[in-house]
Amino acid sequence: MKKNRGVTSFSISFLDCISCGFGAIILLFVLTSGKKVEDSNQQLSDKEVDLGALRRNIQDEEQDLLRLSVDIEEIRKRVKILETDEIEIETKIEDKTLELRLLLEQLAEMEELRDNLLARLEKLPTVEEAVPIPVPNPVRRQYLTEFKLDGERVIFLIESSGGMLDANVELAIERSTGTKEEKRSAPKWKRTMRAVEWLFTSLKPPSRYQIYFFGKETESIYPTRAFDWMDMSDRKQTAETLKRLREKTPQGPANLEKAFYVIGNLDPLPDNIILLVDGLPTQGESVKAGHVVDTQTRIRMFNAAKRAMPRGVPLNIILLPWSGDPEAASMYWLMATETDGSFICPARDWPTI
């Protein structure tokens, strides 16, 4: 018996088509989404690299900012120091201005004194009248009670060492570094010059005179006439002498021994020596010393100077002492006594003009 061949039917329904299309879409979406994820990951990696670089830049900027802060603080400190220096400079300027004002006032006083002295010199009597030159202030005659100013040939021997700048040793050393004008304006030297002017104008004609300054060297106030005797009645020369006194600058050591040797060469010798000193010598001819001169060495220098003194000439001494030289007064007093002279150590305000 014949078997009936079965019939196989194949058909695609609409639903199947829809399913296939949807599957294709899903597959396409999956493929597309994977690509986007890869791109996003790459972009994220790039952003992280950029972010790292940015962070490093921020760190560098922070370091720069820190350094700038340190620099700014240092600049502020320097500005503060400069402001302090500026205040100090302004203070010094004010002090110097005040000192200058005082110096100008002193200069005006000195000029007035000079004019007064010159005016008195113009009124001096002639030689024939034989009237003495007036003393600037008669009240000061009390110091001359025992002091001998007379003589036919009078020597004024004036110490002009650096010690004459101040009565205090330390201040004298400090003033020794100043200019010539500052040295001549030193209070002690101005006092010495006032004393010399007073003594000088107290001389009576027909006395003749010579003035020597002694420091390291001994110099006449008239270098080209060092061995001549000046006439006190010569008013023009007297005015010139006063002018030259104000031009002398004190400096260096004091060599009294050499000064006496110079005076000993005068012919004729003086019959009166008026010596203005502030202490024992600090330099000698026969006694040598090192850089620092101690008291014993200065005493030996003084004794050597005594041996060099012209014999038979009275020594009238004015001591304007400075600190640290207690032996000077007794030794100069003995020197004056041994030569039949006189000795005074006046008050600090002497002479007053």
Domain boundaries, the chain: 28-123, 134-344
> What is the pLDDT confidence band of residue 156, given thresholds at 50, 70 and 90?
very high
pLDDT at 54: 85
Are the CB atoms for 250 and 186 separated by under 8 Å? yes
Say which range, 215-219, 264-268, 288-292, 298-302, has the weakest mean pLDDT: 288-292
Are the CB atoms for 308 and 261 separated by under 8 Å? yes
Across 250-259, average pLDDT: 95
Beta strands 208-214 and 153-159 are parallel
pLDDT at 50: 81
> What is the pLDDT confidence band of residue 11, given thresholds at 50, 70 and 90?
low
> What is the pLDDT confidence band of residue 3, given thresholds at 50, 70 and 90?
low
- Which residues, in sequence order, are CB contacts of 191 under 8 Å at separation 6+? 320, 350, 351
Beta strands 272-277 and 218-220 are unpaired
Tokens 């300027």 sit on residue: 93
Q: Which two tokens stand for residue 110?
A: 């000195």
pLDDT at 270: 96
> What is the pLDDT confidence band of residue 127, given thresholds at 50, 70 and 90?
very low
Are the CB atoms for 316 and 342 separated by under 8 Å? yes
Beta strands 230-231 and 208-214 are antiparallel
- CATH 3.40.50.410 corresponds to the domain 134-344: yes
pLDDT at 132: 42
Per-residue pLDDT tens over the stretch 69-116: 888 988 988 888 988 888 889 888 988 888 888 888 888 888 888 888
> What is the pLDDT confidence band of residue 142, given thresholds at 50, 70 and 90?
very low
Beta strands 230-231 and 272-277 are unpaired
- Please compute, for residue 72, the number of CA atoms within 13 A of its CA located in the half-sphere on the CB side: 6
pLDDT at position 129 over 90: no
Alpha helices, DSSP H only, in the chain? 14-122, 169-175, 180-184, 187-201, 235-246, 256-264, 295-308, 327-338
Burial class (CB in 10 A: 0-12, 13-18, 19+), 304: middle
Tokens 């079965």 sit on residue: 6
> What is the pLDDT confidence band of residue 168, given thresholds at 50, 70 and 90?
confident
Across 194-201, average pLDDT: 89
Rounded CA gap, 128 and 118, in Å?
A: 21
Are the CB atoms for 136 and 353 separated by under 8 Å? yes
